[in-house]
Structure 1
Amino acid sequence: MRVSPRVASLSIALLLLGSCGGGGSGSGSGGGATAGPAPTPPATPTTLYSAPAQESLSVADVQRIIAQAAGEADARRRPATIAVTDRVGNVLGVFVMNGTINRSLTSRLTALGVLNDVDVDLQGTNVDSVIASISKALTGAYLSSGGNAFSSRTASMIVQSNFPPAPNTVGLESGPLSGVQFSQLPCSDLNTRFLPAGGPAAFIGPKRAPLGLAADPGGFPLYKNGVLVGGIGVMADGDYAFDSNVVDLQIDDEEAIALAGLQGFAAPDSITADKITVDGATLRYSDMRVTDLSPLKTDFAAIQGRIGLLVAVTGYNNGPIIAGTPYGTEASGYRFATSAEFAFPDAFVLSNGSGGNRYPIRGGTDAGSVAQPLTAAESRAILEEAYRIMSRSRAQIRRPLDSRAQVTISLVDTNGSVLGIVRAPDAPLFGTDVSLQKARTVTFFSGPFAAQQLIDNPDAEVAGYVTRARTFFNDQTALTGKWAFGARSIGNLARPHFPDGEAGRPEGPFSRPIEDFNPFATGLQVALIKSNVLQHALFTEGKPFNDTAQQCTLIPPAPNNQRRLANGIQIFSGGVPIYRGGVLVGGIGVSGDGIDQDDMISFLGVHNGAARVGSISNAPANIRADQIVIPVGAGVRLRYVNCPFAPFLDTNDQNACQGL
């Protein structure tokens, strides 16, 4: 990834996103507010959601998509790499045109002498066009649903240091999904891996992205008969970049090529990102229009071997085009839960391809370090009550207006082990990995082990963030379990200005200074996983490197031999830790809608689950991060959760999280 003319002073690399954010109201520990919704008795729930129709891309469909994109690239004299995936991330075909600009990692890293150096930074690193195009295609597929269609240009808008990004918006807060680019990581223990035919069996389900999500325009979702079926990604200019100014329209060849490819597979016009607002700003979808395109060419046989070739990609596909897998089938890795697995008849779970639930509800695995781990009954109560809150919540990013929110909900113990994952049928897929990141992040930073585990990471940069945090808090015992951090709190600490958006202020302790900050150099979030990403990228290039382990970060393992941050950390809102009598026992993460909706579903899910079982709770109010005052100006409190205005479809209640 090298500097693009579009980013001026910023150098960049991966970027992307996940759910989107909405406005907000009170914090989780304010007083004088109405009580939150009372927990509903565990009566038999009714069906409120419908699963998407089981559509998929055929081999002929993929051939047409590639032919249309390659025809536009040929007309523009911009040799391109074109990737097509299905909704769950299977790579259906990658076509590389003759003369495509490609910059491998190997030459860059050899010149720096850092092929085996965990201190190497990802900032400014060149990336291979093949893995970049795959990440773009996955971005379009994973960020979208039947209620919203987001492109990699949409992702660009919501992950930058100011929202909306433009030269005149310095002083505004960071994008609502700042940090989502570091999800779906190649080291994630949740996202599964392609294995060549004849190799050992692998779990089916959501596949990893080689560079995480992308914010370089040129990635779109694909729809068939109005149903989300995959994504297309295009690289043609050699710059894996982002658009730092949403005020003007760009002439973007990569976006035009991808737009040509999706003709006949376009999203319904009513759900594209430019019909959706966040914090009063309308999101961007595409700067190119169909009228900008050359006449479509649909004959794949006319281009294969003449202007380019299908290629195999190590770790992603064998070369020949394959058909997509219909989402919602056993083979997709997502299906309806059985009545024994979850009480709600419309809930989806992750499946292993043989009918088994990959993440069944269970009790905690951390009996060696927690006196009373979460029980299976407590786990079930939290997940069911969070799902119930979701089903009552007004969505921020879905169309039509007043749709129900659809998210993924993940629960973990203090080891980071998964105690259950459930989701609405049409929740965006990115939220599966991100909800787990959030659950693990809040549990890790709220635990007594956080500082020591970061100090014991072999990369000195990671340990340095502990020193910075302790200086920031003026507390040499910070990150030892004294405070409960919500996902929003960690986001406050990971922004390039503190308070977020106030130009001229120093950065948060988990961020880089603004002059060194960009979406590929966010701070601690990147430092924890940079060696994993670089190792995987070299592996995909066919160099003599093994693939990265299927556990992110180099922090020491927990007592169960699993790393507590096995799919990386996340730095935007939507998760809270869980306590029993003031002792940390786990965490919940929610992702897939607005960040305030994600916050509310996690916080009220724990509150109502606790009221139902009477043995656990949200963090005691006196240890929540919003009790920490940072001596900036007259003093600034961290935030804990932030819940939306008019959050429910079935009541006019406001301030749902205050006073709880």
Structure 2
Amino acid sequence: MRSRVLVCMIRLVFGLAIISYYGCDTSSPIDSGPSEAGPSTPSFRVANPLLASDVRTIITQAVTEAIDQQAMVTVVVTDRAAKVLGAFRMTGAPTHTMIDREAGMRNEGLELFEVPAELAALSKAGTAASFATSGNAFTTRTASDIIQEHRPRTIRFTPSGPLFGVQFSSLACSDIKIDGALPLGLAGDPGGVPLYKNGEPVGAIGVEGDGNYGIDRDPFDGDQPIEERIAVAGSRGFEAPANIRGDTILLDGIRLPFVNVEMPPPPPALAFEDLPGQEIEVGIPADSQFFFDRVIRDTPDAAFGFADAALDGVPGRIAVDAQGRNRFPFRDSASREGLTAQEVERIISQAIEQAVVTRAAIRQPRGSFAQVNVAVVDADGVVLGYFSTPDAPFFGFDVSVQKARTSAFFSSSRAGSELLNAGLEAFVNAALADGLALDGSVAFSDRGAGFLNRPLLPDGIDGTAHGPFSRPISQWSPFNVGLQLELIFDTLGVLLFSENVDDVLARLGDCARIAGLENGIQIFAGSVPLFKKGA
């Protein structure tokens, strides 16, 4: 009997990027924004979390700037785990926004769907929050740069972004997520900015108001969208330290973007009670308070669903439930031929040991070790163990398991039949035409499976055909990628548009509706299949 298991590692922000960019140099810090050092021992735990008074200040600053710019917007503030702490809609602001309005008449994938503006603002804030650590600060503009078919997007014959595909993670349907969730996944639409206090990442602000939830197809072009300007204004006093901003970090010699606007001068101050608009709920048709009940609040948990732990003397964190119990302790596989708890611990320990002697590519200061999330799953996608270094980015919690499950699933004998049963025969047939039967005869890393999900195959080579799991480049967009989206498309539709509570509840914890892919698949590098006794 076959018994495949898998280990997956997210290294700081990029699985792919760390492999490709070990030893990459970074620039000197730029002279803008506060430069205070972060905590001497970076951690997931926040000493000074956002308070309700902070949230009101941030919203007030954003709305005051919007008034000065004659704009009407929706503002969402989250904690570091993307849990909503406050949401505000200005009088006259659009209540809905269109996904990728610039797609024209294509209307494929998620393109041209209308969703509540507050869901877009939440995904923007949650993206900036879940990327942020004490060693790096990214925005949704940064995200836009690293998820497209080329990096930089305007330079032909360059590989895809190092986080290609990450937008479909940290979803509300995931069985792995911590308390916060992103209704539209991670965002690449400018207008999401991280928030810091005393050098610690504490949350983020997201702004939506132009009626288009899209992606910046050229994040380096110098445009200054009003949503980004308002988000930056909202972050006044809570800015990311200048020496860890994305624009102090180079990948392949190209600086990451951060924001295209400077901090604007503060307009005349208004009291929160005098702002034109009101606090709002953030929800879905089946539950208007699914994400937030409109009561502005303090950060409810300064540990964000994690707890201190150590593995072979290396400090780190584990995920815990409301009672403080380890959600994913090391455990035996249900299969007698599978991994034992001791083997799971050994695998994860080896990964962590490698991380702490590996130079991080995108953390400041230079020479910092790689902060990682590590997960092991069995052949059926069941999590057998999880451990993280203290300051690994929160988005990697969900993604590490996605990656592990992706390799386990596509390396299994059931992959082709499961996809056929799910009505995805077009992708199975395309793979078969390329000589891939998806019957367990080929072992897939996440890099290998991700290769087949690229709109250009080989990756980045213009004028070539698309991979069997991707849409053709003429149809492809970050909102219409192919198999990765099709696996979760129905569930996203139920969550975003169904008024039936039972239907929604049935989808929670089961994004893809295929056993072993409960939180979907991931298609950028960072996982390998493991074999035991040759099988």
**TM-score > 0.5, shorter chain as reference:** yes
Name the CA distance, whole Å, in 2 between partners of 1:188 and 1:70. Answer: 33
| 1:486–1:575 Cα contact (<8 Å) kept | yes
Q: How does 1:67-78 map to 2 (within 5 A)?
A: 67-78=60-71
Q: For each residue in 1:362-385, what CA deviation from the matched residue of structure 2 results, as whole angstroms up to 9, or x when unmatched?
A: 1112x2xxx511111111100111
- What's the counterpart of residue 98 of structure 1? 91
| 2:330–2:345 Cα contact (<8 Å) kept | yes
| 1:408–1:435 Cα contact (<8 Å) kept | yes
Q: Which residue of the other structure, out of 254, 266, 278, is the alignment partner of 1:309?
A: 278
TM-score, scaled relative to structure 2: 0.88
1:520 equivalent in alignment to 2:479: yes
1:451 equivalent in alignment to 2:416: yes
User: What secondary structure sits across from 1:55 in the alignment?
Assistant: coil
1:188 equivalent in alignment to 2:167: no
1:567 equivalent in alignment to 2:519: yes
Identity %: 38
Q: Which residue of the other structure, out of 491, 496, 504, is the alignment partner of 1:532?
A: 491
Name the CA distance, whole Å, in 1 between partners of 2:122 and 2:427. Answer: 32
Name the CA distance, whole Å, in 1 between partners of 2:396 and 2:199. Answer: 21
| 1:82–1:233 Cα contact (<8 Å) kept | yes
Deviation at 1:25, TM superposition (A): 6.6
Q: For each residue in 1:326-357, what CA deviation from the matched residue of structure 2 results, as whole angstroms up to 9, or x when unmatched?
A: 543xxx211102x6xx4335110001122210
Deviation at 1:543, TM superposition (A): 9.3
- What's the counterpart of residue 248 of structure 1? 221
Q: How does 1:373-388 map to 2 (within 5 A)?
A: 373-388=338-353
- What's the counterpart of residue 319 of structure 2? 350
1:495 equivalent in alignment to 2:454: yes
Q: Report the aligned-residue RMSD.
A: 2.4
In structure 1, the gaps of 5 or more residues are 1-16, 27-47, 113-118, 192-204, 557-562, 584-660
User: What secondary structure sits across from 1:546 in the alignment?
Assistant: helix
- What's the counterpart of residue 324 of structure 1? 299
CA distance 1:133–1:23, change in 2 (3 Å): closer
| 1:327–1:334 Cα contact (<8 Å) kept | no
- What's the counterpart of residue 582 of structure 1? 534
Amino acid at match of 2:520: G
Deviation at 1:91, TM superposition (A): 0.6
| 1:454–1:555 Cα contact (<8 Å) kept | no
Q: For each residue in 1:566-596, what CA deviation from the matched residue of structure 2 results, as whole angstroms up to 9, or x when unmatched?
A: 000000000001101221xxxxxxxxxxxxx
Amino acid at match of 1:569: I
- What's the counterpart of residue 58 of structure 1? 51
Q: Which residue of the other structure, out of 264, 273, 284, is the alignment partner of 2:237?
A: 264
Name the CA distance, whole Å, in 2 between partners of 1:319 and 1:77. Answer: 25
TM-score, scaled relative to structure 1: 0.72
User: What secondary structure sits across from 2:17 in the alignment?
Assistant: coil
1:427 equivalent in alignment to 2:392: yes
Deviation at 1:263, TM superposition (A): 0.3
1:394 equivalent in alignment to 2:394: no
Amino acid at match of 1:160: Q
Name the CA distance, whole Å, in 1 between partners of 2:352 and 2:251. Answer: 23
- What's the counterpart of residue 149 of structure 1? 137
Q: Which residue of the other structure, out of 501, 504, 511, is the alignment partner of 1:546?
A: 504
More strand by share: 2
| 1:184–1:433 Cα contact (<8 Å) kept | yes
- What's the counterpart of residue 19 of structure 1? 14
Amino acid at match of 1:518: S
Name the CA distance, whole Å, in 1 between partners of 2:501 and 2:148. Answer: 32
CA distance 1:164–1:229, change in 2 (3 Å): same
Deviation at 1:90, TM superposition (A): 1.4
Name the CA distance, whole Å, in 2 between partners of 1:394 and 1:148. Answer: 14
CA distance 1:225–1:288, change in 2 (3 Å): same
User: What secondary structure sits across from 1:316 in the alignment?
Assistant: strand
| 1:159–1:178 Cα contact (<8 Å) kept | yes
Deviation at 1:551, TM superposition (A): 3.0
Deviation at 1:88, TM superposition (A): 1.4
User: What secondary structure sits across from 2:504 in the alignment?
Assistant: coil
- What's the counterpart of residue 5 of structure 2? none
Q: Which residue of the other structure, out of 382, 385, 406, is the alignment partner of 1:417?
A: 382
1:362 equivalent in alignment to 2:357: no
CA distance 1:497–1:428, change in 2 (3 Å): same
Q: How does 1:477-488 map to 2 (within 5 A)?
A: 478-488=437-447
Deviation at 1:18, TM superposition (A): 5.1
Amino acid at match of 2:95: N
Name the CA distance, whole Å, in 2 between partners of 1:570 and 1:520. Answer: 15
User: What secondary structure sits across from 1:437 in the alignment?
Assistant: helix
**What is the total number of aligned residue pairs between the two structures?**
494
Q: Which residue of the other structure, out of 175, 179, 185, is the alignment partner of 2:161?
A: 175
Name the CA distance, whole Å, in 2 between partners of 1:516 and 1:453. Answer: 26
Deviation at 1:312, TM superposition (A): 1.3
